Amino acid sequence: MKRFAEYDGWKIEASPIILAKQRLFQAGVVIERDDGERFVFSDLGNRVYRWQAYERGIEWAKHWIDTNYRLGAHKPRRVN
């Protein structure tokens, strides 16, 4: 069960929430870059096991980074 990962200069921390009444784990993730840019995402899907929620969060974060940063959708701000 892997909770932390690094990907393309980003630190990823999977942080599932326990839904006790439903006996499920709701996937969530915190993504942070070295320059301090940070994003928190929750409600990425429910899983039966904690390890599944960790995997879901990390894979979702990698896809988000690819879509929003690696493929050029996000253009860094210019500092004058």
- pTM: predicted TM-score of the whole model, two decimal places: 0.81
Decide: 60 and 44 in contact? Cβ < 8 Å: yes
Of 51, 57, 46, 44, give the one whose Cα is nearest residue 24: 46
Strand 29-33 to 10-14 pairing: antiparallel
Q: What is the mean pLDDT of residues 57-65?
A: 94
4-70: CATH number: 3.30.160
The residue count for the chain: 80
As a whole number, the mean pLDDT across the chain is 87
The residue ranges of every structural domain in the chain are 4-70
Regarding predicted confidence, which is higher, 57 or 77?
57
